Structure 1
Amino acid sequence: MQNQLASSSSVHQRRSKTDWENRFASWAASPSATEQQRAENAESMIRSAIQNSPKLSQRTIRVFTQGSYRNRVNVRKDSDVDIGVLCFDSIFPEYPDENVKLARKSLDVSAVYGYAQFKNELEEALVAKFGRPAVSRGSKSFDVSETSYRVEADVAAFFEHRRYTTVNDYLSGVEMIPDDLRPPMIRNWPEQHYSNGVTKNSATSRRFKRVVRILKSLSNEMSANGISSAGRTPSFLVECLVWNAPNANFLNDSYWAMTRSVLAWLFNNTRTDQSCKHWGEVSNLKYLFNASQPWTRAEAHRFISDAWDYVGFD
């Protein structure tokens, strides 16, 4: 971990260990009550949009929060809230083998409600609630602009994804089809992610999520100061990296020592593909590093190394 950042920013170089401890303590804190209320207002209004839709109100739908807001690792720059709209009227199945697939074929009824229709109807509902200027459609989600009353919201349409383990047993996740089909399908496991995050946080005396907030805020500052690896590192990846660190690395008396311990372990264990090939996302149902991910092990290692140097750990 050699310091390659001498010319990128002089601000962080003037901070002492005490200065960093105070900054880390500030970054570790949960969002303010005001920020939380504005996020809850956005969530409530989107639920209302679904309930008031003549088409969607007839469907079996669950509206849920996901991402940083749901998992309580959002920081000040994460000003938006991610909301999923999950329809159970159709499913995307995944089978472990052909025998299970053939057995399910005789049990499953072909869906007549397509994903494209569902997403279009969701757009209609959002426009009816918020007005056309406030709603923009992206390939993966709808953006609902913020006001003084609510934060910006990213609203994604999902069908249930079922990963069958036997003919009758399955893991329930969510799946979407991006408009541009890049990638063709996106599968996520928000409930498992949430549950595993809570378990990790409890096992580390509530320090796991604090370290995530610290490193996400650090990444934001690094990016603002021109550190390119930070700008290329999604906050979701930061959370997953920290989740893979052993619980023992969080058992320190100071945020400075705790952050140093986690970064050191991550640096040493992302040097090679072999050392972290079995790491998972927080859900533990998707590998963190494989060809389907939009990041690589080498990119993650570069960010970790740059974060170490930026703080000035030795």
Structure 2
Amino acid sequence: MSLTGTDRESLLSQWIKPSSNSEQERQERAVRMIKDAIKAHSAFDGVNIAIYAKGSYANNTNVRKDSDVDIVVECRECYYYEFDPGVTLSDRASARQSISPYRGKWTADVWRTEVVSAVKNKFGEAGVDISGNIAINISEVAGSRPSADVVPSFEHRRFLCADIANLCPGSHVVGKDGAEVVNWPIQQLENGRRKNTRTGGRYKHMVRALNTPAAFSDR
């Protein structure tokens, strides 16, 4: 079907819109329920945990009718680390003197197992899909909450010099197959906000348009 210039302009104006108010309410409900699930799990009593959204929901680039959320459940009892490439070997050796090996129980497998138990206790066996290598999927309940991907992770630190207080924070994910992935959600969020400001809001508009499945359908 051939589209006129007016048709294209109308479509684009729809594609660039964020989630509707009702969709946002359902997204927020899903986040609250996941936080409640982790809080209620006795194995996590007294454990230092950070729970936060990432991806398009956190960055406000999700599109209408595609309102799933990505939630990180991050262990802060220990951390993985790396050095910035610019850190010298002598500074790395100096920094390592300030880093104590972790000897607690929170391995990647144990952390994932307890996160799975926590969400199953909240959402039920049928509502939780653990077949994925990285994320634990919580199924959608139409009209109540969208689907959610829960990602068990650990804190990751990139040390920028010999002073380990000078760092760039990230998220370290270990899949069921042992593969490790490092993400930088805080930097992604900050960079997206700065770029959106520099472009007068056009950056997030275009990201939403490109994320809209209809943008790539045959017409």
Once the two structures are TM-superposed, the CA of residue 206 in structure 1 deviates from its matched residue by: 1.2
Distance 1:33 1:151 in 2: 13
What is the aligned partner in structure 1 of residue 138 from structure 2? Answer: 144
| Aligned twin of 1:260 | none
Separation in structure 1 between the aligned mates of residue 66 and residue 56 of structure 2, nearest angstrom? 8
Which residue identity does 2:60 align to in structure 1?
R
| Alpha-carbon distance, 1:105 to partner | 2.7
Q: TM-score, normalised by structure 1?
A: 0.64
Match 1:119 to one of 112, 128, 140: 112
Deviation of 1:224 after TM superposition, in Å, equals 4.2
Seq. identity, %: 31
- Matching residue's letter, 1:120: T
Instruction: Identify the residue that residue 32 of structure 1 maps to in structure 2.
Output: 20
Q: Shift in Å at residue 76 of structure 1? A: 3.0
Gaps of 5+ in 2: none
5 Å matches for 1:131-280?
131-137=124-130, 138-147=132-141, 148-168=143-163, 169-181=166-178, 184-217=179-212, 220-221=213-214, 223-225=216-218
What SS class does the counterpart of residue 55 from structure 1 fall into? helix
Deviations 1:76-133 (A, max 9, x none): 3533100011111110100245434322332212112212211111111111111111
Distance 2:196 2:215 in 1: 26
Distance in 1 separating the partners of 2:45 and 2:17: 38
SS of equivalent to 2:45: helix
Q: Say which structure is richer in strand.
A: 2
Please give the alpha-carbon distance, in whole angstroms, between the structure 2 residues aligned to 1:17 and 1:180.
49
Quick one: which of 90, 93, 111 aligns to 1:99? Answer: 90
Partner residue, 1:129: 122
* Residues 50 and 57, structure 1, Cα contact 8 Å, conserved in 2: no
Higher relative contact order (CA 8 A, sep 6+): 2
In the aligned structure 2, how far is the partner of 1:177 from the partner of 1:163?
17
8 A contact 2:209–2:215 mirrored in 1:
no
TM-score, normalised to structure 2, is 0.90
**Where does the alignment leave 5 or more consecutive residues of structure 1 unmatched?**
1-10, 226-309
Q: Which residues in structure 2 correspond to 1:8-19 (within 5 Å)?
A: 11=1, 14-19=2-7
Contact 1:28 1:210 in 2 (8 A): yes
Q: How many residues in Structure 1 have an aligned counterpart in Structure 2?
A: 210
